[in-house]
A = this chain, B = another copy of it.
């Protein structure tokens, strides 16, 4: 038990995995913020305290809310695989510098992805940051399969 947390690569994994998960979790309050400022809700019970005539108008979608939700969904599709493959990757005992390179590029690419998605920056900023993160995960998956293949 203690051995894992005394291992440098595993500690680096732990740090970056936690950072990107916390980043992903923060998308939910951000969605809530946009829902309230834009007045766009999904559930009747969420607008129950508003005047009756306003309620129906508030049960709608809003482009800004949908944008944040797509960004959140993209996080789920990319950060979750990174954290799961990264755990196995850290257990294969890579060099600390190589591992750190993977983790840092991934964390940076996902933070930049969020900025370019929510800020609607011109393409290919969002596309490139998404691909950078994807390539990191593929690179880790390649090493995992090369070292621990048992079919």
Inter-chain contacts of A18 with B (CB < 8 A): 85, 88, 141, 144-145
The answer for the CA separation of A7 and B42 in the assembled complex, in Å, is 43
Q: Answer whether A88 and B28 are a contact pair too, CB < 8 Å, given A5-B148, A120-B43.
A: no
Q: Check if B93 sits within 8 Å of A2, measured CB to CB.
A: yes
Interface string of A1-19 (1 = CB under 8 A from B): 1111101101110110111
Q: Which residue of B lies closest to A117 (CB)?
A: B43
The reply to whether A80 and B88 form a contact with Cβ atoms under 8 Å apart is no
Given the contacts A28-B134, A145-B15, A44 and B3 also touching, CB distance less than 8 Å? no
Contact with B along A91-127 (1 / 0, CB 8 A): 1110000000000000000000000000011110010
- With a cutoff of 8 Å between Cβ atoms, the chain B residues found around residue A67 in the complex are 43
Within 8 Å of chain B (Cβ to Cβ): is A40? no
Contact A46 B150 (CB under 8 A): no
**A26-55 interface code vs B (CB 8 A; 1 in, 0 out):** 011000000000000011111011000000
